[in-house]
Amino acid sequence: MVSRIEASKLLSRWAGQGWLRRVGRGAYVPVPLELLGNRYVLDDHWVLVPTLFGLSYIGGWTAAEYWDLTEQLFNETVVMTANPVRKKLQIKHGARFLICHVHKRKVFGTKLIWRGGTRVSLSDIHRTIIDMLDNPGLGGGIQHISDCLGVYLKNQKRSDETLMTYAKKLGNGAVMKRMGFLAEALSGPSILTDLCQERMTAGNARLDSALNCTRLVTKWRLWVPPNW
């Protein structure tokens, strides 16, 4: 057993010799022998997330890839953090992160997974869907989110009640409208679409703020692009 000061000095010395790479305060990762001298040494940059972003979880399209909701690959890893966000796109140790702020009381519906020797928090499959419906930009756009939702609706893990619980807890009325509209377009009227309609809030929302939404679907109180 060594003291904290001795351990710090030892880690610092190993980092100076190139055997470790410092990725955050008090956090180091080992450098594989074949990558000594290479600044890009991380096989799995998810291990950086707890150290770099504090109370956080991996979500959006990155979680959708993990849960096999999509085969599309994205360059950035989506991170939801309760820490203040000064730059949405950050590059750390050769990895690209898309950062989104979330209030600490809205950090729920997550699952702890092991990546090597590091525990990383990830949105569960239901929260992944809800987060993308809440902020379509984190899901690669509404068409990709619709594709992910279509896969989810056929998944054995599907839980309409969990979706409803998460959507209500998140508190964005647009989520119910987007989910109901997309679910009905994908598979017709269902218990899920009925639940969405029962719990809709007043006012109109946009299907995706990044698109030119000029047609109002009054049933769902949703502005959508003309071609939808």
Same domain, 6 and 97: no
Helix (H, G, I), strand (E, B) or coil at 166: helix
Same domain, 88 and 176: yes
Closest C-alpha among 43, 65, 186 to residue 118: 43
Same domain, 32 and 105: no
Q: Are 98 and 60 in contact (CB under 8 A)?
A: yes
Same domain, 137 and 220: yes
Same domain, 7 and 27: yes
Report which secondary-structure segment, H or E, holds 158. none
Report which secondary-structure segment, H or E, holds 9. helix 4-16
Same domain, 73 and 144: yes
The three-state DSSP-derived secondary structure of 186-197 is HHCCCHHHHHHH
| Distance from C-alpha of 144 to C-alpha of 177, rounded to nearest angstrom | 17
Same domain, 105 and 20: no
Q: Are 155 and 125 in contact (CB under 8 A)?
A: yes
Total domain count, the chain: 2
Same domain, 166 and 91: yes
Same domain, 178 and 85: yes
Tell me which residue range forms the domain holding 144.
Answer: 42-224
Same domain, 140 and 181: yes
One digit per residue, pLDDT tens: the chain, 228 residues? Answer: 656 666 555 545 545 544 455 555 556 555 554 444 444 345 678 988 998 899 999 999 999 999 999 999 999 999 999 999 999 999 987 889 999 999 999 999 999 999 877 899 999 999 999 999 999 999 999 999 999 999 999 999 999 999 999 999 999 999 999 999 999 999 999 999 999 999 999 999 999 999 999 999 999 999 999 988
Closest C-alpha among 165, 128, 166, 136 to residue 228: 136
Same domain, 35 and 68: no
Same domain, 4 and 91: no
| Distance from C-alpha of 125 to C-alpha of 157, rounded to nearest angstrom | 8
